[in-house]
Amino acid sequence: MRSAVTSRYNMQTVLLLAPALLVLAAVFVIPLGRLFSLAFTDPAGTWVPFQTLLTSPVYRQVVANTLVVALAVTAICAVLAWPVAYVLSRLKGVWFVIALYGVLFPFWISVLVRTFSWMLLLERNGPLNRMLAGSGMTDGPIALLFNNTGVMIGMVHVLLPYMILPLYSAMTRIDRRLLLASDGLGAGLLDTFRRIYLPLCLPGLAGGATFVFLLSLGFFITPALLGGANAITLSMLIASFVNDRLAWSLAAAGSLALLLIVLLIMGLTAKMLPLEKGMFAK
Amino acid sequence: MSKLPLWLRIGGNSAASLVLGFLVLPILAVVPASFNKASFIYLPPRAYSGVWYERFLEDAEWRTSLLNSLQVAVLATAIAVVLGTLAAIGLRRLEGRWRAGITALFLAPMIVPVVVTAVALYRSALDVGLSGSILGMSLGHMILALPFVVINVGIALRGVDENWLKAASGLGGGPWTVFRTITLPNITPGIVGGAVFSFITSFDEVVVAVFLAGYSNKTLPVKIWESIRLEFTPVIAVAATMMIVLAIVLFAVAQLVSSGRETPTK
């Protein structure tokens, strides 16, 4: 009797999960598997696509550029996030809501639209260049678009909220009595920051940095539009293997490499950081 | 730290305001750009006019792309909401390692870089003849939207007490009656939230769509993407402004629904 009830319950659970799992398998897992299999079935030899990617100076340059841009974007985000996260953690009432919406609003706008906006602003004769020239800071228009400068500006803009929110979340959970205690015990401002505030913010900062770095590695739209041919990233290379060269085995090998890098970094961070489960729940 | 010196407080607030301005203001640049009178985008416009809005509505390609986007988003959202809601309910009945493992599987489309997903889907769509079809793009977007439904409904399900379900079925309610009378009313805000996320995800999505769209079934973001690479006319800014307005409207709807969730009226 009891086992009949249990087995019916289990049956229902399976039936609830089955449709989504089957569709996920058909439209996601199997296509990924088929793509990755192309990396190993090249007529030239099993490991040839990987060897090509690793040995060609052009491709190595692309991988290096991807890493440099991702690191720079992460570093810039880590700096810019501090004041916003701190002010958010101290504000109350209407001002808090306004500031929070300021951080969340960009999330709701398509990355394509935001990137297009930056194209208008960074153009050769765009408002930013005219402002810089008008204020006498530059002699003439400078190239802000179709190079790494443009890519980094656009990517920082898109990814900054991913750094602000975990950092803010870490800051709100700091017991302010610790800071008072440190102050009362005679520690200076810098000491209190360095020895109490910073270490307590570190999990949030590291979580945000991981997010931003991982998202940067796979970024496509923004580098493709703001960087163009002068600032190629790994994701653009993968797309061009498919679209321009029909080199499926290279696209597959590049995709697999990108995914493995992402998973590796995720695994390492999960090991090193005691990221609480509730951290990103908000 | 509790009492920062005045200069640091002023400095911090100014820096925070500048960064917030950097986050919000550039997005809005497309709005004045869309009202340019000239045939090229100049910011701020020398003369304003709504002529490019008319151009957008007159142009069959732009109109079709908007309709395609809506079709794809509705289809992707419908499938994602049904499958994701069932899956979230199923996940809640699992325990320990099973739940963690299957949840991770459902969240995987958020982790895999979208270019990789797009290329993989393109290859399979070519093989099964779904490339260049509305259905193919809908299925691709549905996969990207599924995690949002599973997460949102999963959070809403935490508010449903197991004992209510036991009581209801103990009183003779079949599984469907229990779902309809107890579970569904309590998770509706989660479903609506998931649906809004799904819709936005699909409506805004460009990478998967660029690969799967083909020649005849471009979505609005694909049309924007291609137009940017051809020429910079204010009609692109019109399309971008429409996407911003739609996002704000849906954002407001989601906020209304989720604030309804917090008011203890029942």
Question: What is the per-residue pLDDT for A275?
Answer: 52
Q: Residue-wise over A160-195: b if at least 16 C-beta within 10 A, else e? A: bbbbbbbbbbbbeebeeeebeebbeeebebeebbee
The phi and psi torsions of A173 (rounded to 5 degrees) equal -90, 5
Instruction: Say how far apart CA A75 and CA A85 lie, in whole Å.
Output: 15
Two structure tokens written together for A208: 């945000």
**Domain range annotation of chain B:** 60-261
pLDDT at A216 over 70: yes
Question: What is the per-residue pLDDT for B243?
Answer: 93
Q: What is the DSSP string of B160-187?
A: S-HHHHHHHHHTT--HHHHIIIIIHHHH
Are B1 and A116 in contact (CB < 8 Å)? Answer: no
The answer to whether B43 and A121 are in contact (CB under 8 A) is yes
User: Within a 10 A sphere around the Cβ of B7, how many other Cβ atoms?
Assistant: 8
Chain A partners within 8 Å of B224 (Cβ): 112-113, 116
Q: Give the range with max mean pLDDT: A39-53, A127-141, A268-282, B98-112.
A: B98-112
**What would the mean pLDDT of A65-84 be, rounded to a whole number?**
94
Over residues A90-143, the pLDDT tens digits come to 888 899 999 999 998 888 899 999 999 999 999 888 888 888 888 878 777 888
- Which one of A110, A115, A168 would you mutate to disrupt binding with B, by most B Cβ within 10 Å of its Cβ? A110
| CATH entry 3.20.20.70 includes domain B60-261 | no
pTM above 0.90, yes or no: no
Give the largest Cα separation in chain A, rounded. Answer: 87
Residues of chain A with pLDDT > 90, as a percent, come to 50
Question: What is the per-residue pLDDT for A66?
Answer: 93
Give the largest Cα separation in chain B, rounded. Answer: 72
Chain B partners within 8 Å of A107 (Cβ): none
Instruction: Say how far apart CA A268 and CA A72 lie, in whole Å.
Output: 20
Which of B197, B107, B118, B243 shows the shortest CA–CA distance to A218?
A: B118
Question: What is the per-residue pLDDT for B266?
Answer: 38
Nearest CA in chain A to B14: A83
Q: What is the DSSP letter of B47?
A: S
Over residues B173-200, the pLDDT tens digits come to 888 888 888 888 889 989 998 999 999 9
Over residues B108-158, the pLDDT tens digits come to 999 999 999 999 999 999 999 888 899 999 999 999 999 999 999 999 999
